[in-house]
Amino acid sequence: MTDTNRARPLVYTGLGAVVFVALVIAGFGGLSYATDTEVIAAPGLGPLPGVIGIAAATIALAGTLLSRSLNRPGLGTAALAGLFAAAVHLLAVTVAALFTLPGTAAGVASHLVLSGYSVLVFLAGIVAGALTVVGFRSGSGTPQWPWEKHDDDE
């Protein structure tokens, strides 16, 4: 296995993680605007639980995709990564809220689920996971123009 083949899953997983974070941020903004609700509707809680939740969900998504990258994953891997990211996001935000402002953790968790923010994390995970899986399954050769091929390659 060459160095580029070893680095390929890392590159695709990193790109998938960036796409996931971008989709979650844009989705949270759009859903918040459309429903006229806050993402985390607990006064005095601050942004830390949300940041911890997104960071943990991103790590969960990337870890799931990277662990499955060697055995030619399919779209079931993308669904598993999205499910795992949504569950870890909900758990991380709830635990962070529990340590930050203990009386609001249950309310924050129920708000994320009932307002659709957890579903949005799940869908963003599926989309980012599917794009990453497509990258994993794509050809490993570097694209070349016809004049770049060596005579011994044919």
Q: pLDDT, tens digit, for every residue of 83-121? A: 999 999 999 999 999 998 888 889 999 999 999 999 999
Q: Band of the pLDDT at 46, cuts 50, 70, 90?
A: confident
Q: What is the pLDDT of residue 101?
A: 85
Do 20 and 58 touch, CB atoms closer than 8 A? yes
pTM: 0.85
Cβ atoms < 10 Å from Cβ of 8 = 17
Tell me the CA distances in angstroms from 104 to 27, 100, 146, 147, 152, one per residue in order.
24, 9, 63, 65, 68
pLDDT at 5 over 70: no
Do 115 and 65 touch, CB atoms closer than 8 A? no
- Among 56-60, 73-77, 108-112, 136-140, top mean pLDDT goes to 56-60
